[in-house]
Every structure is written in C-alpha cells, then in structure tokens.
Amino acid sequence: MKVYFDARQLGHAPQVYFRRGAAMPHQEQPQRAEILRDMLLSEGFEISAPGDHGVGPIKAVHNPGYVDFLPDAYDRFVESAGAEALAIPTMHPGVRRGKEPRDIHGQLGWWMTDTSTLLTPGSWDAAYWSAQSAVAAAEAVLSGERAAYALCRPPGHHAMRDCSNGFCFFNNACIAAHHMTSKYRKVALIDVDVHTGNGSLDILYERGDIFFCSLHPDPATYPTFFLGHADETGEGAGAGTKLNLLLEQGASQDDVLATLDKGIAAARAFGAEALVVSLGFDMAADDPLAAVAVYPDGFATMARKLADMGLPTVLVQEGGYLGPSLADNGRAFLTTFRKAIQ
C-alpha cells in the first residue's frame, strides 16, 4: 500500500489555542505525524513524497478566494500586528452577508472561524503539501493501486468550502473524493474521526455523486458543534446522500463498530464504486480529546470492515493526538488494512 507524506507538513507549529475561554497547549502538533511516520517505517511501509499538482485540485472544492488568501496571510499579519501576536481572527461577519474586507484582521475573521487554526510561519506550506499528499494518494488509486494512505497533517475534515475550522485549513478528504470522481461515478466518503466531519458535510451537502457518512457524538453538546445532526441528509442533487450517525459520549468499542456497520451498509446501498476514509485515531479511549472508547484491536476490526467493502480506497489521516496509544492505533489499523487487501 503506497503512503504519501512531505516533510514540509511538519512546518505548521501552533503553540496555544483557546478552549472554553482559556489558553491551553495546542493539540495539533507536528509530533503527531512524526509518530505515525516512524511507525510506518518500522512496519516496512515505503513513504513517498507527493508530486505537486498545484492549487487546481484544492480550488475544485474550496472557494478560490480563500485559497488565494492563505499563502501570504501570516506575513501580512506580522507586518500589521507584530510577531508576538497570535494570528487568529478577533472579529467575524456573523451570517455571511457583506464583502471581504481588505484589512488583514478583517480578512482573518472572514476566512477563519475559530482560534484553533491559527497561522504560523510554516502553515501555508504544511496545508498545501498535506493536500498534495491526499491528491497523490487519489492519483495512485486512479492509476490502479487497490489502496493508498495519505499521512495528512494538518488534518482537513473540519475545513469548509470557504473557511478554516477545527485545526484544518484544506479539506484533504473532500479533495481526494472529488479527484476520484474523474473516474468513478459514485464515491463514498466515510468519516471515522471522533468529531463530526462538518467541513466535509458543508462541501458535499448538495452533491449527489459523493455519499458522506460521519460517526460522531451529538453536535448539540460536543465539538465542533453546529453541523452533523441526524436530520441533515443533503439537499438538491445531494438529498438522501448524507448520513450522520450519532454516538453516545463514552460509547464502547462495540457500539462504535456496530454504528460503522450501518454506515458501510448505507454506502453499499448508494452503489459506491470507490471509497475515501477520513481516518481519525481520536476515537481512542486514551486520546487527549477522547469521547468514545476504541482500542487497538477495535481499529484493526474497523480496518477489516472497510477493506472488506472491496473498493479502491484512499485513506486520509485526520485526528489522533498525542495520547499513549497513537502509534499502536495507527499500526493496528494500517497493517491490518494492508494485509486485508493483499
């Protein structure tokens, strides 16, 4: 199974963010990718750097204005506010009526939703090459590989069409899924990160060619809030092609796996010809952002269930933070998936 990762993805290095009004150490650290990379190498996976497919695949799912805003946004912020300030939005448009301002502080609020996705000197390169890793994995599958894994960092499934959100700049899974539609009429995107794939839901809501299913606790009471309710099933051409499967906070491994079975059955009923998986190891019981209790053997079972769908598959890394079992969970899922498709 081919693996794609670029060292420039380590350049985004946020130090703090605000949660419940308090500043705290940022959870989305470069070490996450280093731990998974080193595990992959120890298990004999060959890691390739992605080629550069440009901004075209990114702009295919994101507002081009948002994409064009990011490359020099940090430098412009520092020029205005100084290097000691946090490059986060402090004013927002509310409902998205109005026009994009020219001032950098207003632009941060226009294109960015929260304090968790702050800009640092290496953010643009990291987000750009994370997206390129997803495109490279999709290209590999389009070229005949049974499956490929993109070690995407920063993650992507919270990024909406025209704004960052929840540690995410570009929605790597949606970029991969859209890329797959160049060959496959129907693509399924199944999100097994513990948080709702709210950005993916936003991007895909009116698309009928990409089925989307997310497993997550009720967004009425659990981040990222707002999107991911059971009655949000798509609109227009996408009506009936979106499925939010809600988990109880503290759900057991058996509960999670039984819920995944429902998502897989729905993807099959949709007639999916290819699969993209938003792969989050923050389903782990000991993850710093834990809300359910999945263990390494559960991730292995999850991998077998998804591999048994028998579809060309792109695996896209999402969450999974610096808990004790991160490497073990990654090893359990990825080695099991590799064995299952051989």
Q: For residue 210, is it within any domain?
A: yes
24 with 138: CB under 8 angstroms?
no
Beta bridge partners of residue 119, listed in sequence order: 87
Number of Cβ within a 10 Å radius of residue 318: 28
Query: Which residues are within 8 A (CB) of 133 and not within 5 positions of it... i.e. 6 or more apart?
Result: 4, 5, 6, 9, 50, 150, 151, 152, 172
303 found inside a domain? yes
- At a CB cut-off of 8 Å and minimum separation 6, what does 141 contact? 147, 148, 180, 274, 312, 313, 314
Q: How far apart are CA 307 and CA 286, in angstroms?
A: 25
How do residues 289-337 score in pLDDT, each as one tens digit? 999 999 999 999 999 999 999 999 999 999 999 999 999 999 999 999 9
In a domain, 12, yes or no: yes
> Residue 292 domain-assigned?
yes
What is the Cα–Cα distance from 95 to 206, expressed in whole angstroms? Answer: 20
Q: Does the active-site annotation cover 178?
A: no
Please tell me the distance from the alpha carbon of residue 50 to that of residue 126, in angstroms, as a whole number: 13
Question: What are the residue ranges of helices labelled H in 9-163?
Answer: 30-42, 56-59, 64-69, 73-81, 104-111, 123-142
Examine residue 249 and state whether it is found in any structural domain, yes or no: yes
Instruction: Give the three-class secondary structure for 197.
Output: coil
> What is the three-class DSSP state of 6?
coil
Residue 135 belongs to some domain of the structure: yes
> What is the extent of the structural domain holding 172?
2-63+123-340
**0.85 cut: is pTM over it?**
yes
Catalytic residue, chosen from 157, 158, 179, 195, is 158
Residue 246 lies in a domain: yes
Q: Report the CATH number that the domain containing residue 11 is assigned in CATH.
A: 3.40.800.20
- Domain-embedded: residue 106: no
pLDDT in tens, the chain (342 residues): 999 999 999 999 999 998 878 899 999 999 999 999 999 999 999 999 999 999 999 999 999 999 999 999 999 999 999 999 999 998 887 656 667 878 787 787 777 788 899 999 999 999 999 999 999 999 999 999 999 999 999 999 999 999 999 999 999 999 999 999 999 999 999 999 999 999 999 999 999 999 999 999 998 888 888 889 999 999 999 999 999 999 999 999 999 999 999 999 999 999 999 999 999 999 999 999 999 999 999 999 999 999 999 999 999 999 999 999 999 999 999 999 999 999
Between the CA of residue 176 and those of 138, 216, 238, 244, 311, what are the distances in Å? 6, 21, 18, 20, 15
Count of domains observed in the chain? 1
DSSP state of 181: T
